[in-house]
Each structure stands twice: as C-alpha cells, then as structure tokens.
Structure 1
Amino acid sequence: MVDPEGGPAYLYPEDAELDEAPAGRPPLKRIAIVSGSVAAAALLVSGIIYGPTVARVLSQSGTTVDSPNKVGAFTLDTSDGAKDTAEYIRDAVTTEISLDSSVGLIYRDQQVSAILVAGTARIWNPGRTLESAFDVVSDDAGGVRDVHDVAAGPLGGTVRCGVTKVDNTDLAVCGWADNGSLGVALFSGRTATEAAKPFLDLRTAVEHRP
C-alpha cells in the first residue's frame, strides 16, 4: 500500500497503532522502552545489594557441625544427665529456629561447663538469627544483657557475647551465626569476656566448611 504523498505506508496496521498514540498519552513503544530500562536498573541494583549475600549463602551451604571429644582444655561430657540437658536446650533452639541438622553438647573444663547448641541452615540474616537464639536461651530470665560484638576470626560471620541470668546465677552467653550455621553456648564460671576465646575455640572445632 502506498500513501497519497508517494511515501511508504505502514506495512502492518499495528505499527501505526504503536507509533500513533491518542493525544495526551505517550506512544506504547516509548512506554515499553522506559519500562525495560527501569526493570534493568532495578535488577542491577538488586544484584549489587544482594549478590554478595547470595554468593556467601551458596558457598556455605555445605557447612557441617561435629561433636569432637576434646577441644583445648574442654572434654565432652557423655553422661546421660549431660546428654539430657544438652538435648533439652537443643530442642528449645530448634523449635524457634529451623536448622537442617543440629547437635547439643556439654563440655567441661574441671568445674566449668559449656553447654553448646550448633546447627546448619541457610541463614540470610545472621545478626537477626543470632538475636533469636539469644532470646531462646535466656527464656524468661530478662534476656541477654551487655551484648557486644567479638572478632569472628577466619570463619567470619557474626559473633557476640553477653550475660543472662539462670536460677539467679549469671551465665556468660556467646553465639555465632554465618550464612551456613549457627551456634550458641552458655558458660558457667566465666564472664562474657573470659568466655569469648574458649567459645571461638569450640566454634573452630565444631563448624566445618567444604
């Protein structure tokens, strides 16, 4: 079809519909181009913000937790009473926080004990997950106070220690959370500052990455 002025006419009727929009409305092609640009920009920003987190989650998805018999001066308590206590606390933590696999352990260093719960999962927000774990172990004791960050060392993630009260006794609480695992421990006979190093030793011995 040729237009009266001799120029090429639209080859398809829909071409005219796309280019010729009613007065006051932008052409559909322009809308499509702008929408595509906005979507691409949003995708780029999301990749910049969330890409590193996704990469860490995937790289740590093969994390495992172990139950070594000895960690430094600590020895694993395998008595029935210790197992029952550790399992009770483990069940409380896993009821609140979904873990793929988990262990409940009690280690003793002479008269000092450490009750440790550790497990694996894909954790997108380690800080928030660790807060939830602290809430569980503190129960109705008024929460964990004097919480402070601790240098995490080679394994990275978030590590914090604080103090909670159990049966009118202050116990040090330390926990770690990264994108592949979580661990929280209660220490008797130690301040939060004193508990930090043995807790990091326990984490290094218990947490393993592929």
Structure 2
Amino acid sequence: MRSRRRTVSVLATLLVAGAVLTAVVVQVGSDPSFGPAAESGPVGRTVDPPATVAGYHQITGEAAESLSARLPGTTPERVWFYSATPDDTRPGLIFSASTAQWSPRLAEEIRTHSLSWGLVNFFAGAKIDDPEDVDAGPLGGAMQCGSQPGKSAVVCRWGDASTVGSVAVFGTTDIRRAGAIAVQFRNAAEH
C-alpha cells in the first residue's frame, strides 16, 4: 500500500513537473520546421472530465481533495484521479488537461510552437527519455507515451490546436494499451 501511494505521488509529481516545465521551456523558442500547433486542427475545444471511461471511475469528494492536496505547487493543468472500481479511493489512473480557453499562456504557446516541441519538453520534465509515437485518435494532433525505467506505469501526452493533456496509467508497462486508454479518455473528455 505504501509503495502504491509513493508511486502515485511520484507520477503525479512528474505529470505536474512535465506540465510546468512545458509552460516554462516552451516560451524559450519555437520549432519552425514543424509549424505552430494552432495549425494542427480545430480550435475552441474544451475538456470536461468524464465520470467513467475504459473501466475507470472518477474519484470525487474528500478523497479527490486529499489527492489534489498532495500535488506539488500549482500546475497550469487541471488534474483528476480515477480508480478501477466505483468506490475505490486509490488512483489507478491520473488524467490532466488544459485548454487555450482556460489558459492564455497555453493559447500563446499553441499559436507559436509546434506539437513536437511541447511533447519533447513535457517528457523531459517528466524524466521519460524515449517516448513513443502512438495514434492520437480521431481528434488528431499528436500523442506519445513512455515510462520511466523500473516503474510500472505509462504516461501518455497529447496536444492539438486547442488542448493538451496527459493520462498516467498505473500497473502497466504496455505502451500500446496505455495509448488506447488515453485516446478513450481524450475522446470522452475533449469537445
């Protein structure tokens, strides 16, 4: 139980660190060879956390507040926790996202930087060395997934013309499986 809490805490910290690093580093320069993310598809999308997706159930109430209180500092993204069963309060998945509507800073980054630039910086902040490209699903944009050596969790990150988001799936090292779950979350949440 203690090991699982530590893993959840470490991965939540890495997701937040990746999001914060992306917000900071992406301002440093652009990647003109790929063009800005704003050119990658429809704009004006928003994100609403789904109650249930892919067998995961959103943790709400005091349990969610307690988990959120463990997150370090502030993050430019909103974070939601999910468990494998309806009444469980131990996360099996963390979902985070931000939109250009919520964050003027993100809107500027999407307008001036490429999707690949954002993914590279996110995974550098999350200390994941070799993320793999995976299918971003019908909403387009770009998505990659990867894991830290020795960790039983996979983090997937996507970006498009108006949103960015991440899904960390605990208890797996299967990048394709985690990517498929991330696409299901994205499809259910992004409108």
State the distance in 2 between where 1:172 and 1:53 align. Answer: 24
Larger Cα Rg: Structure 1 or Structure 2? 1
What do residues 53-94 of structure 1 show as CA deviations (whole Å, max 9, x unaligned)? 65557x41x110101211131110114343343465596542
**Partner amino acid, structure 2, of 1:64:** T
8 Å CA contact 2:131, 2:145 repeated in 1: yes
Among 86, 94, 109, the alignment partner of 2:84 is: 109
- Is residue 2:146 matched to residue 1:162? yes
State the distance in 2 between where 1:179 and 1:148 align. Answer: 21
- What is the root-mean-square deviation in Å for CA atoms of aligned residues? 2.8
Q: Are the structure 2 counterparts of residues 193 and 93 from structure 1 closer, same or farther at C-alpha, using a change threshold of 3 Å?
A: farther
What do residues 1-60 of structure 1 show as CA deviations (whole Å, max 9, x unaligned)? xxxxxxxxxxxxxxxxxxxxxxxxxxxxxxxxxxxxxxxxxxxxxxxx96x965557x41
8 Å CA contact 2:37, 2:114 repeated in 1: no
State the distance in 2 between where 1:126 and 1:90 align. Answer: 26
Question: Structure 1 vs Structure 2: percent identity of aligned residues?
Answer: 28
Q: 1:146 maps to which residue?
A: 130
Q: Of the two structures, which has the highest relative contact order with CA contacts closer than 8 Å and spacing of 6 or more? A: 2
Q: 2:118 maps to which residue?
A: 129
8 Å CA contact 1:90, 1:104 repeated in 2: no
What do residues 82-124 of structure 1 show as CA deviations (whole Å, max 9, x unaligned)? 3343465596542xxxxxxx42101122477111110112313
State the distance in 2 between where 1:87 and 1:182 align. Answer: 22
How many residues align? The count is: 143
TM-score (norm 2): 0.63
Q: 2:172 maps to which residue?
A: 190
State the distance in 1 between where 2:40 and 2:176 align. Answer: 29
State the distance in 2 between where 1:132 and 1:87 align. Answer: 25
**1:133 CA displacement:** 2.6
Structure with a larger share of its residues in strand: 1
Written as runs of structure 1 = structure 2, the 5 A alignment for 1:1-210 is 55-56=39-40, 59-60=42-43, 62-86=44-68, 89=71, 92-94=74-76, 102-110=77-85, 113-121=92-100, 122=107, 123=110, 124-136=113-125, 138=126, 143-164=127-148, 169-191=151-173, 192-208=175-191
State the distance in 2 between where 1:164 and 1:180 align. Answer: 28
8 Å CA contact 2:37, 2:115 repeated in 1: no
8 Å CA contact 1:105, 1:116 repeated in 2: yes
